[in-house]
Structure 1
Amino acid sequence: MSKQTGRRRRHLAGLTAWDRCAVMGVVNVTPDSFSDGGRFFDTTAAIKHGLDLVAQGADLVDVGGESTRPGATRVDEDEELRRVVPVVRGLASEGVTVSVDTMRASVAGQALAAGATLVNDVSGGLADPRMIPVVADTGAPFVVMHWRGLLKDGNVKGTYADVVTEVVDELHARVDAVLDGGIAPDRVIVDPGLGFSKDAEHDLVLLAHLDRLLTLGHPLLVAASRKRFLGRVLAGPDAAPPPARERDAATAAVSALAAQAGAWAVRVHEVRATADAVRVARAVEGAR
């Protein structure tokens, strides 16, 4: 690894220190995911899928029981717990490094007790005021994503004069709040929130300026997998975007770019191509 990139890809306390960008595989235990349409809604199927992702090269697996796509309605707490906790327990029992994707403190707490090691909250602790104290008490690493609210009514508050500056500033403020809440600085991850309150142009500009996000001083998670902006890029100005599951090659391209820029991890649905992409990026770094 080059000295420059080695400085940028920061170590995260509480997790393995990979010598390259890590690959976070996605397990959606939901009936309405935009990307896989409920294919892994059953607990047994979800656990098997998580193990398959590890076999394909995932370093950790992110388990979520609530869709955050635009227009999605929230599931109740008991249902989210029913979906998530058995899958987390099953994967952790097999030695998988598990992240829990939730906006609820109760789900985060029970998932951590079941063996999860990381909390990935797309609201950065804003959706549930109990989240930060729960995570701080456990000492788990915590993902702080750029978030402007639930996407019940589409792309809420997606207006920017300078998207990079505003996302960096808003993330900085949120990270400060998380640190003030007791989460250790070396356990905070930042995520620009691609697709959340952003259109395709915003997402592309953020990807072009990942170096600005790294100035926040925390490991960077990039979650571009199968998102709408990739569909827009692939379709061009006049054609209909391809379905989500036909965006995996484009996702792998973003993974290589993110790895080259110094991202700590990329979050993806289809692991094999991205696992190859980040290893190629690492080999190129090593050849400099």
Structure 2
Amino acid sequence: MDDVSMEILGSDLRCFAVRIITKSAGEISSETIPVNSLGVYLSTLDDDKKAKLWTLIDNIAAKRSNILNLDFQDTIIQGVLNVTPDSFSDGGKFADPNSAIKQAQEMIDAGCDILDIGGESTKPGAEPVSIDEELNRVIPVIQKISDLKINVSIDSRNADVMEAAVKEGAHIINDVSAIEHDPKAIEVLKETDVPVILMHAQGTPENMQDNPNYQNAVLEIYDYLESRIEFCVANGIDKNRIIIDPGIGFGKTVDHNIELIKHVAIFHGLGVPILIGVSRKSFIGKISGEEIAANRLPGSLSAAQYCVQNGVQVVRVHDVPETVQAISVFKKIRHIKDNF
């Protein structure tokens, strides 16, 4: 931190002021402090509050540790490969293993860094499938993809599926329930020693969109994800193995989703990489009027670029070539040096 600005994420991103949000007795207040006045502001606080704020500042400023071979100083692209017959985005296009393998290779060639394999639909209203059915969908695909030299994440909330997937070559666990749905999931994390993505969802896929309700969506989801990180760490999971996901579209209205995207930088205070999944989501359709999920690419790119601009490290997408191209151009413009 210099006199007027503060480094963010150990990168070329900098801020010149910080917004300090305080919750007390159900009331929320905030104030904006210029970086060059932050020392004076901190000197007025008691030791406990000062220590908490320094922790947040350190979390925001620090470079994120690499996970596997992934360097979070660059944007990580997670490609979505749903091998379900009822995916919201592709209608079961890749439920057949051969089609899934072909799509996996195309996404790898296009530049994705992680392939996210899911065998249970978590779209609004989706009903759970049996463990055997989920295993039958994902394991043959993971076995074949394991030869393609790509990081594979298993998108599952079920411990038996997580464990089997890792044994067959998956490298990351991606749990939409943040290790809450299945009590055995934390044991799988301990035994496998793989990284984990903790996502927020209000409710379950069957009921999450019935009536999503928050007093303050951003702060409540922040607190929830902080508590899930603390749970994992208390159970022996290294914090450097954790990625968080605010869960766009999972128990949120359009306004909740937009609030989360607009204020996504607040989640840097948790001190771990942020993953965001906006690709083809229904909020884009409700804003734009586009009812067909596959036609929501422009809105997906717009939201993803905003997130990258605010330091989000991982974007989860269906359209890998288009996203790679859009982010490459954006980063080139952002990083070019001024000649005046």
Query: Does TM, scored on the shorter chain, surpass 0.5?
Result: yes
Matching of residue 256 in structure 1 with residue 273 in structure 2 = no
Matching of residue 271 in structure 1 with residue 297 in structure 2 = no
CA distance in 1, matches of 2:224, 2:235: 17
Matching of residue 168 in structure 1 with residue 168 in structure 2 = no
> With CA pairs under 8 Å and 6+ residues apart, which has the higher RCO, 1 or 2?
1
Q: Which residue of 2 aligns with 1:238?
A: none
Spell out the pairing of 1:135-150 with structure 2 (5 A cutoff): 135-150=189-204
Shift of 1:15: 3.4
Q: Which residue of 2 aligns with 1:186?
A: 240
1:136/1:278 CA distance change after superposition, 3 Å: farther
1:233 to 284, 287, 290: 287
- Tell me if structure 1 keeps the 8 A contact 2:75–2:314: yes
Query: What residue identity is the alignment partner of 1:82?
Result: N
**What is the root-mean-square deviation in Å for CA atoms of aligned residues?**
1.8
Report how many aligned residue pairs link the two structures.
283
CA distance in 1, matches of 2:189, 2:144: 21
Q: Which residue of 1 aligns with 2:23?
A: none
CA distance in 1, matches of 2:62, 2:332: 16
Shift of 1:171: 1.1
CA distance in 1, matches of 2:150, 2:303: 25
Spell out the pairing of 1:106-121 with structure 2 (5 A cutoff): 106-121=160-175
Superposed CA deviations along residues 207-244 of structure 1, whole A, max 9, x for unmatched, are 00011111111100000111111111212xxxxx4210
1:261/1:83 CA distance change after superposition, 3 Å: same
2:231 to 177, 189, 192: 177
Superposed CA deviations along residues 12-36 of structure 1, whole A, max 9, x for unmatched, are 4323215421111010000000100
Query: What residue identity is the alignment partner of 1:78?
Result: D
More strand by share: 2
Counting aligned pairs with the same residue, the percent is 35
Superposed CA deviations along residues 111-140 of structure 1, whole A, max 9, x for unmatched, are 111111111100011110111111122111
Query: What residue identity is the alignment partner of 1:272?
Result: P
Matching of residue 75 in structure 1 with residue 116 in structure 2 = no
Q: Which residue of 1 aligns with 2:150?
A: 96
Displaced runs of 4 or more, over 4 A: 5-9
Instruction: Provide structure 1 residue ranges, at least 5 long, that are not aligned to the other structure.
Output: 236-240
